[in-house]
Amino acid sequence: MGPLVLNTRPETDSADLLAALETRGFRHLSAPMLAISFPATDTPFDISPYQALIFTSANGVRAFDRLTNDRSLPALCVGDATARMCRELGFATVQSANGDIHDLAALIRQKIDPSSGPLFHPAARKTAGDLGEMLRNDGFQIDRQTVYEAIASDELSPDVLTALRHHHIDVILFFSPRTAETFVKLVHSYKLEDDLSGVSAICLSPAVQSKISDLTWHRTYVASQPTQEYLLSLLGSVVTACRT
């Protein structure tokens, strides 16, 4: 049997990841650390005041799709997964920063003229960074609106608890600071600290790794680029190294 990997991403973001794990021969369990909630809306959204859209997650794209069918504005995306979601939902002009929020800010500075109008940023209530603050000194006006909520989990399922307590899990994948932070809180809540000493953690970025640093792991790793593809490549290398 292949190594057992624990996925902590929300269900809405996990389909491609789980398919990729299966293709690579990994067994997997899922413990979504966040549940995504999209508030109902009856009022069509007017995008005419804006010159472009900013997306920092695929869920932001999904939420925007609930607001309007208008795809006339260019979309600037934090990474390739978010950009793919834009294309799937009919956006014609899509650009990816292929990185984190700082890379997205750099892309906006490069591609957008602040004098041409404000930008619309559909986002969660809690975000990993404040683009408006980052870009304010460059003259950008960013209208960030809460269009979905990421609700932290307050429990682990019985099968995940059993796998952790019996040391069946080989690797845990972390994609965001908030999912990592939520996992750490649950570890302390269930008193699982000693059950992680044989588990490796693979993180999308240093910011994610910093949230799990107070736990005792076998090893922790950070993807060289903050994308799912690089994280999966690292996973393969980690497992190969453990076998040799």
Q: Domain of 66?
A: 47-151
- pLDDT per position as a tens digit, 110-128: 999 999 999 999 998 876 6
Q: What is the mean pLDDT of residues 53-69?
A: 94
- pLDDT per position as a tens digit, 6-38: 999 999 889 889 999 999 999 999 999 999 999
CB atoms within 10 A of CB 150: 21
**Is 198 inside a domain boundary?**
yes
- Identify whether residues 138 and 169 lie together within a single domain: no
Per-residue model confidence (pLDDT) at position 227 = 84
- Identify whether residues 64 and 147 lie together within a single domain: yes
In total, how many domains does the chain have? 2
**Is 200 inside a domain boundary?**
yes
We report the CATH number of the domain holding residue 74 as 3.40.50.10090
- Identify whether residues 159 and 170 lie together within a single domain: yes
- pLDDT per position as a tens digit, 153-192: 999 999 999 999 999 999 999 998 999 999 999 999 999 9
4 within 8 A of 30, measured Cβ to Cβ: no
Can you tell me the distance from the alpha carbon of 110 to that of 95, in angstroms, rounded to the nearest whole number? 11
- Identify whether residues 209 and 130 lie together within a single domain: no
Show which of 104, 126, 151 is a domain's final residue.
151
> pTM, whole model, 2 decimals?
0.84
Can you tell me the distance from the alpha carbon of 167 to that of 194, in angstroms, rounded to the nearest whole number? 10
CB atoms within 10 A of CB 218: 13
Can you tell me the distance from the alpha carbon of 163 to that of 80, in angstroms, rounded to the nearest whole number? 32
The one-letter amino acid at 102: H
**Is 40 inside a domain boundary?**
no
- Identify whether residues 139 and 158 lie together within a single domain: no
Can you tell me the distance from the alpha carbon of 73 to that of 52, in angstroms, rounded to the nearest whole number? 5
Per-residue model confidence (pLDDT) at position 1 = 66
- Identify whether residues 129 and 199 lie together within a single domain: no
Tell which wins on pLDDT, 158 or 237.
Answer: 158
Q: Which of 39-43, 58-62, 141-145, 217-221 has the lowest mean pLDDT?
A: 39-43
